[in-house]
Amino acid sequence: MEEYSKEVEVKNRAGLHTRPAAMLVKLSSQFKSEIYLIKDGFTINAKSIIGVMTLAAEYGSKLIIKAEGIDSKEAVEKLAELFNNGFGEP
């Protein structure tokens, strides 16, 4: 199985609150791959809003996006783009 991962940083000042978490889950759900977010050794399913919210990733947090499956590289790159753009927030 194809696996791909990348480290990203939370760049929006409010961190991974409800709106960006919902954007992340929505985008993750468009891919066939299993997608995970890893923070401080804690791994959650990126397609689960509850999981993403429990990460409590504040501004400046470093996370690893990891995907396993047929579209893993595309999934990780698209999600990394979302983080790099600060989820469209200041």
Structural domain spans, the chain: 3-88
pLDDT in tens, 64-73: 999 999 999 9
Give the span between the Cα atoms of 53 and 51, in whole angstroms: 5
pLDDT score, position 4: 98
| Range 3-88 has CATH code 3.40.228.10 | no
| pLDDT tens-digit readout, 41-59 | 999 999 999 999 999 899 9
Catalytic (active-site) positions? 17
**What's the pLDDT score for residue 29?**
98
- What angle is formed at CA 59 by the lines to CA 4 and CA 88, rounded to 5 degrees? 75
